[in-house]
Amino acid sequence: MSTFRQIPGIYHRQVGHFLVTALCDGYMAYENFDIFRDDDHDKLAACLRAETRVTPPVISINAFLVRYDGRAILVDCGSGDIMGPTCGRLLDLLKCLGLNPQDITDILLTHIHPDHSNGLTDPKTGDKNFPNALVHVHQEEIRHWFNDEAKAQATERQKRVYFDAGRFQISPYLNGSVQTFDRESKVLPGITALPSTGHTPGHSCYILRAEDETLIIWGDTVHVPEVQLAYPDVGMIFDTDTPAAARSRRMILQRCVVENILVGGMHNHFPGFGRIRQGTAGEYRFIAEQWYHAFHHGQSV
Ligand SMILES: [Zn+2]
């Protein structure tokens, strides 16, 4: 049986003066619930069924392109060759948009993990995929993934997929093309980095403030929305520090509710835009935004 590509993987949304394009690098379909740090698999399955989702979960892997004032900014850059045949579409999608990798001016990394940072560097040549980009990332991401003591405590798979791949991917940029931050701070005009550590030691969200709307691109604040909004304390095996990740998740979710912030997420179902509300059955819920059927520059309708 043939498999057909079902979704185009490109979706534009105007957020004030920011032209934000969600890019679907691919997806991961899981065979069981072992990706969660929670043994109550009936509870996890019930969360998915309540939202009529596939169980065990299928997770989208998204990145975002942000264009304004002559800049072309990637928020994360896809998974390159490391996540298997269902992933790694980002460079093709840029081509579809008429963009060359050389056109990317900045890359905002939410964290260094294969599905977010493995698109930085060509695995065959070791050359930068984005030769003109300045990479912005929390300094703890560099410090942690280059820490040999932390690596020595990791499993063999973590050593290979997180530490080795992370070092390989970021290294070509370390000679002058990486700008780090260590607190909530402005990284580009109108764009603020908000550290939300736990999932990884320097995991960060990015907040885009436009005239009439605020967008948070929240990285891996949530991997499986149906589960982790209902139960924000449920962690993932990918977390470096699960309790800290849960505290950050709660902080971000509450802020999204109180400030009515538009959300974009790397593992929200593509295209991933929506808003957070207090839940009725669970603690929070994700209200996916309706698709804008037409797009004119400067306005989504
Ligand atoms: Zn991820």
301 CA from centroid of ligand 1 (Å)? 30
For the chain, 301 residues long, the average pLDDT of each consecutive 10-residue run is: 74 95 96 96 96 94 97 96 91 96 98 97 97 98 98 96 97 97 98 98 98 96 97 97 98 97 97 95 92 74 63
Is 172 domain-assigned? yes
What's the CA-to-centroid distance between 221 and ligand 1, angstroms? Answer: 9
| Distance in Å, CA 66 to ligand 1 centroid | 19
Question: What is the pLDDT, as a whole number, of residue 60?
Answer: 96
Strands (E), the chain: 10-15, 18-29, 36-37, 58-68, 71-75, 106-108, 134-138, 178-181, 185-188, 191-195, 204-209, 214-217, 235-236, 262-264, 273-278, 284-288, 295-296, 299-300
Q: What is the pLDDT of residue 253?
A: 98
Does residue 207 belong to any structural domain of this protein? yes
How many separate domains does the chain show?
1
Residue range(s) defining the domain that contains residue 64: 10-300
- Residue in the block written with tokens 């932390």: 150
What is the structure's pLDDT at 295? 75
- What are the pLDDT digits (tens) for 197-224? 999 999 999 999 998 999 999 999 999 9
Give me the pLDDT at residue 1, please. Answer: 55
Amino acid at the residue 80: G
DSSP state of 67: E
- Within a domain: residue 1? no
Report the separation in Å between the CA atom of 184 and the middle of ligand 1, taken as the mean of its atom positions.
Answer: 21
pLDDT in the model for residue 97? 95
Q: pTM of the entire structure?
A: 0.96
Q: Give me the pLDDT at residue 2, please.
A: 65
What pLDDT score was predicted for residue 300?
A: 66
CATH number, domain with residue 186:
3.60.15.10
How far away, in angstroms, is 115 Cα from ligand 1 center?
5
Neighbours of ion ligand 1 (CB under 5 A): 115, 220
Which pLDDT score is estimated for 280?
Answer: 84
Q: Is residue 138 part of a domain?
A: yes
The DSSP bridge pattern shows strands 134-138 and 106-108 to be parallel
Question: Mean pLDDT score of the chain, rounded to an integer?
Answer: 95
CA 90 to chain centre: 13
- Kindly state whether residue 121 falls inside one of the protein's structural domains: yes
Q: Tell me if 286 is assigned to some domain.
A: yes
Distance 116 CA to ligand 1 centre (A): 6
pLDDT reported for residue 165 = 97
The reported pLDDT for the residue numbered 186 is: 98
User: In terms of Cα–Cα distance, which of 146, 193, 148, 150 is closest to 166?
Assistant: 146
Say if 145 falls within a structural domain: yes
| Cα–Cα dist 299/277, whole Å | 25
- Cα of 290 from ligand 1 centre, angstroms: 24
Q: Is residue 234 part of a domain?
A: yes
